[in-house]
């Protein structure tokens, strides 16, 4: 994922977790917050807690989320900060399952334009 699409600062993660609205799916949790300062693109942070499993499983889950969101990055509504939090079931999921989960979450959060559905 290109650096302009990354949410990297700890303060940004805390702000999105504190203020943002969360949407849950059995594979992943989406926390979304509108960002007035960066209206040119969407920034995404990826996280996997210890409940996801060992370090190998957490890293696989994060790689899977980064790859699954890649086709959506340019089509999402601009000006949002997103955090994707992996759940334990994501470790055994396929790329197609993960993309379907993200599509469902983006539609529920209304950050995917209607023509992309």
Residue-wise DSSP of 3-42: GGGB---HHHHHHHHHHSEEEE-SSEEEEEEE-SS--SS-
Distances (CA, A) of 116 to 72, 80, 91: 9, 17, 27
Give residue-wise pLDDT tens across range 7-27. Answer: 878 888 898 999 999 999 999
Q: Check residue 75 and give its pLDDT.
A: 87
pLDDT above 70: residue 39: no
Mean pLDDT of 70-91: 91
Q: Residue 32 pLDDT > 70, yes or no?
A: yes
């Amino acid at each position: 994922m290109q650096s302009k699409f990354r949410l990297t600062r700890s303060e940004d993660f805390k702000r999105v977790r504190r203020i943002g609205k969360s949407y849950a799916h059995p594979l992943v949790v989406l926390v979304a917050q509108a960002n007035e300062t960066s209206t040119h693109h969407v920034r995404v942070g990826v996280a996997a807690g210890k409940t996801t499993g060992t370090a190998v499983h957490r890293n696989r889950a994060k790689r899977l989320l980064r790859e699954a969101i890649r086709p959506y990055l340019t089509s999402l509504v601009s000006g949002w900060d997103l955090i994707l939090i992996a759940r334990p079931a994501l470790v055994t999921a396929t790329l197609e399952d993960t993309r379907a989960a993200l599509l469902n979450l983006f539609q529920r959060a209304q950050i995917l334009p209607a023509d992309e559905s």
